A and B are shown apart, each in its own frame.
Chain A
């Protein structure tokens, strides 16, 4: 979940009313977010990924204002003076064919400060990193409107030169991609064709999308007029982000003007503030939340959640704000009403039970076996299911099977994890290997899952295994333990001599349950013990339960 850091004074100014430190944190918590860190100047808030509209001080302030019924804001529209397009972007066939979309808008007469501009830049970075999936799906560019033409082209271009932002010399696109920090970070978002997505006007390149803008269109706090463009591979997301940004600039106090985007067959006007109305019966809201709201209160609750709402018979008409990218249907609005009502104010109501509860069928057997093992002097261990070939096979004096009949992990972050364990004994030997200074005898058991592949299907099964490490322990001791445990478990079993490289030859036996070889026991081979750094004789068994 994204963390956003915002200037406290700026946030309070945007809210427009003094709010005590503690109250502010509590309001943010009630909205569903957490203040991770806070000091005199700044606070860092964790915002859930479904609310990109709140990744800025401006958006968060709007939500808090609505929640606190301070100067509520619901509707956004284009500047009345000029409804015609302020600028045109022509999407070249090359860009259109490779599935790229663009939208944007123009902001005029805005008063920026260092703080508000920093908030905007952080906002657009956060959006491109998270929803934009590190600019692969969507990216944002903010330009100085006064230095660009009204006709812009979005095109896939060959390698050419331009002066990138915060640079002082002409550089090739390829040079920027290969040799700058931003280039290296976002190069995977470039199309595979080897061409460069470029925004340009008659004076040259505006931006190498989605890597970096040009120095020419640089924005400073003194910039009064802005051109904001949003590009990406998802038209839905590009349009949603455009609205989120546009409403944010309107809140800061700019005049907003639309732009035209020309594709080969159609022209679209952005931003499009038309939004959905969703009708929900009041009764449905009350039934799902388990609370009584009433027609008198529902509109006020809707407003608190940021919705303009109206009664329509027994239904409520909610107008979805144009900055809400996450509203899919009525379920999302019901949650917002729930948050506005306050989770703390919902009185718990019991659900009747029609049946008595029950534990899984295995539970009784597993618990019985475990307590029998404890009775035999074994202490229970629990280990991670993930391990590596080294411990599971090689340290056990076994070869890694040619036919990979075990689960293999792909790209594990921990270098010592590569497979899911196929048996328990290595896990238990690991416990004993880190118990060198503990009293003898050391008896440890584990009853848990192991994994194999059989007939291309993953098999998840439960095993029981125990190890006893003691200066005097031999085959007969382990046989005695296994036979006693199996007897009380009600399994019919027999023992047959076998050989297994983890055990000493001639001191190892197979455990046969109901005619199937389901287990092994014996004296562990000195090679195995040495591999685990165990210096005392050890005996062990392992049985497949189900």
Chain B
């Protein structure tokens, strides 16, 4: 509480009811300071105020200029009384002409042959007149009409009709009382209460004999700048932790690959449109990458030639690309697994693996399209794995995010049967495609599905972010927003 406010409260404590002018006298505060204090205290409901109506007088610009010297008629009379001659035609200024008009009106002069001459009344007129003197007091004085004499009131009505002053009705503070809350506050605000707590207070225990001043909890304060994790990173961690909890082990693999691992080993025919530069980023440096697994290369070449009946080119398979799907990481592990399995090495089944990372599409970057975005791929390698197993795994995964899903038949070259995953947006909302899944073809694993089969899926992460976080409106936002966005993301 400010010291002026405290002073006012203390006076009021002694005088349960007091007028403004009494308070002004007793406090010794200026009028503005007193008004400020009363207003603050009243806003906090510490005071009860009663108001009264009063006329307030304000000088107009014209009135203000006369109040500093005298009324214009006084100036003319003053000149005439000093013996100077005035011709009406000489009076050109507004002020002089107004003065002349009022001299005539008040019967102080008459005009003969264009020359002003004093009447008897004019000769007796004393300058400055009582009106002029009164006007100059209006300039200084505070202005309650109550305190004026009847003569002065008649001047006021004249000035008002001459538009030298404006008389307005106004509510002014009349009686000031301390409220119950104010009486309580003053106890807390005694000299002895604590504002900023400090070490000295704590160590000396001197707070024990004092009161803590209260803070007004409703007062707005400046917001703290938060340092935040990125919402997409938080979701990626959620996804990883969820798969880990469901018994999956995280794997990773390269982004920059020969087409072989992104397409050929996933049974995508070499003339498939998805492989073209239209959709896939090919590289000019390096333009080619070697396929080190020669044995695998041969078997892939054979299955392509047999099934797709088109010439298979190793050169095309070596063309360097940025991976377009995380399944390229999975297929490396499937291959490594198969090498072990076929060599008779003991392998524990089922193996549950997942990988999260960026994939790339040659898009025109705009508010809707990204060139790189996240995908989460998962595989289960085992015996007699079924579509029912696939549906169970994915349903459980999405359930932990509160997302309801549905499966729709779909086509991907490397799975059969294939299923697209659709998530429902809100209760009874639209269905949004959020991923693909299926049982990997034996052309990819290189073994009969009666011996080993592999369930696989690829899930879009950015779309999950849109479903999961109301504050995020487009998939592009997480990648191209400034600090105001990054610092204020909702956690869900």
Asked if A48 and B410 make an inter-chain contact with CB atoms under 8 angstroms apart, the answer reads: yes
Q: How far is the CB of A340 from chain B (nearest CB, A)?
A: 10
Query: Does B335 make an interface contact (CB < 8 A)?
Result: no
B250: A residues at CB distance < 8 A: 357-360, 363
- Is the CB–CB distance between A346 and B441 below 8 Å? no
Does A335 lie within 8 Å of B418, measured CB to CB? yes
Smallest CB–CB gap between A302 and chain B, Å? 15
- Interface residues of A, CB < 8 Å — how many? 93
Chain B residues within 8 Å of A499, by CB: none
Task: Decide: A438 near B482, CB < 8 A? Known: A32-B410, A414-B363, A414-B371.
Answer: yes
Please measure, in the bound complex, the distance between the C-alpha atom of A29 and the C-alpha atom of B111, giving whole angstroms.
Answer: 108
Question: Which residue of A290, A416, A432 has the most chain B CB atoms within 10 A of its CB atom?
Answer: A290
With A343-B407, A383-B479, A460-B254 known as contacts, the answer to whether A359 contacts B225 (CB < 8 A) is no
A412 near B: Cβ within 8 Å? yes
Q: Is the CB of A435 within 8 A of B483?
A: yes
- Segment among B1-9, B157-165, B241-249 that sits at the interface with chain A: B241-249
Q: Is the CB of A343 within 8 A of B348?
A: no
A291 to B387, CA, bound (A): 9
Closest chain-A Cβ to B282's Cβ sits at a distance in Å of: 5
- What's the nearest-Cβ distance from chain B to residue A463, in Å? 15
- Neighbouring A residues of B213 by C-beta, 8 Å: none
B368 contact set on A, CB distance < 8 A: none
Given contacts A290-B388, A335-B417, contact A411 B439 (CB under 8 A): no
A residues 8-35 touching B (CB-CB < 8 Å): 29-32, 34
- One of B19-27, B62-70, B203-211, B228-236 at the interface: B228-236
Is the pair A349, B283 in contact by a Cβ cutoff of 8 Å? no
Q: How does the 8 Å CB contact mask read for A416-442 relative to B, with 1 for contact and 0 for none? A: 110010000000000110111111001
Picked from B282, B349, B483, the residue with its CB within 8 Å of the CB of A411 is: B282
Question: A350 contacts the other chain (Cβ, under 8 Å)?
Answer: yes
A212 at interface by CB-CB < 8 Å: no
Residues of B within 8 A of A354 (CB): 247, 348-350
Q: Are A49 and B411 in contact (CB under 8 A)?
A: yes
A333 to chain B, nearest CB (A): 9
Quick check: B416 and A413 within 8 Å, CB to CB?
no
Interface of chain B residues 371 through 409 with chain A (CB within 8 A): 371-372, 380, 382, 384-389, 391-393, 395-396, 406-409
Given A133-B271, A357-B249, A434-B482; A380-B228 close (CB under 8 Å): yes
A338 touches B387 (CB 8 A): yes
Q: How far is the CB of A521 from chain B (nearest CB, A)?
A: 19
- Interface secondary structure of B, over-half rule: mixed
Binds A, one of B93-101, B128-136, B148-156, B284-292: B284-292
List B322-375 residues whose CB lies under 8 Å from chain A. 322, 348-350, 352, 358, 360, 362-365, 370-372
* Known pairs A348-B392, A374-B227, A460-B256; A287 contacts B384 (CB<8 A): yes
Contact with B along A324-356 (1 / 0, CB 8 A): 000010011011001100011011111111111
Which residues from B are CB-within-8-Å of A296? none
State whether the Cβ of A317 lies closer than 8 Å to any Cβ in chain B: no
Given contacts A386-B372, A435-B482, contact A380 B387 (CB under 8 A): no
Q: Is A51 an interface residue (CB 8 A)?
A: yes
B479: chain A residues within 8 A (beta carbon): 382-384
A346 and B387 contact, CB distance less than 8 A: yes
Interface residues of A in 222-244 (CB under 8 A from B): 234, 236-237
Contact A431/B277 with A32-B409, A343-B409, A346-B388 known, Cβ cut-off 8 Å = no
Contact A355:B249 (CB < 8 A) given known A48-B410, A236-B309, A438-B484: yes
**Which B residues are in CB contact (< 8 Å) with A435?**
482-484
Q: How far is the CB of B71 from chain A (nearest CB, A)?
A: 58
A228 to chain B, nearest CB (A): 22
Partner of A347, one of B244, B388, B411: B388
CB-CB under 8 A from A407, the residues of chain B are 256, 283, 285-286
Ranked nearest first, the 4 interchain pairs of A and B with the lowest CB-CB distance are: A290-B388, A290-B386, A32-B409, A353-B247
Chain B interface residues toward A at CB < 8 A: 225-230, 232-233, 237, 240-241, 243-252, 254-256, 271, 273, 277, 281-287, 289, 307, 309-310, 320, 322, 348-350, 352, 358, 360, 362-365, 370-372, 380, 382, 384-389, 391-393, 395-396, 406-411, 416-419, 439, 441-443, 449-450, 453, 455, 478-484, 486-487
Q: With A351-B385, A416-B365 given, can you name 11 additional A-B contacts, CB distance below 8 Å?
A: A137-B271, A236-B309, A287-B386, A290-B386, A290-B389, A363-B240, A363-B250, A375-B227, A380-B228, A381-B486, A434-B481
A-B contact list, 9 entries, CB within 8 Å = A32-B411, A287-B450, A334-B416, A343-B409, A354-B247, A363-B240, A404-B285, A417-B365, A420-B322
